[in-house]
Amino acid sequence: MRVAFAALIAVTLLPTAAAPQVVDLSTIKCKEFLDSGKDTIAYIMMWLDGHFTGEHDPAVVDFDKMKRNGDKLDDYCNKNPTHGLLTAAEQVMGK
């Protein structure tokens, strides 16, 4: 059972052909983020969550909070597609 679970996690984390291998978050705009696809958005949200909130308890992943922040970021980026993603995330998630 552990092997099957580990294999599932490994396959889930492998980059897809459509997903870029490297993303420079300091240059990406909100529109690019919103258009990057479900998997890439999920990876970026995980990174943003760790970047903006990981200092408090780095061993805890609060998926409900990440979902709320993702919804706020989605709303902000839809209203401000030309803003930089990190600027948007600072507005939504704070630092």
Per-residue pLDDT tens digits of the chain, which is 95 residues long: 444 444 445 545 555 555 557 888 999 999 999 999 999 999 999 999 888 876 666 677 888 988 999 999 999 999 999 999 999 999 998 86
- Dihedral over Cα of 77, 82, 83, 89: its sign: positive
Residue 75 pLDDT: 96
Task: Say if CB 45 and CB 70 are below 8 A apart.
Answer: yes
Task: Say if CB 34 and CB 88 are below 8 A apart.
Answer: no
Residue 4 pLDDT: 46
CA–CA distance, 62 with 21 (Å, rounded to integer): 26
Of the candidates 55, 35, 49, 38, the residue with the CA atom closest to the CA atom of residue 89: 49
CA–CA distance, 48 with 37 (Å, rounded to integer): 16
Structurally, what CATH architecture does the domain formed by 2-93 represent? Orthogonal Bundle (1.10)
Rg (CA), the chain: 14
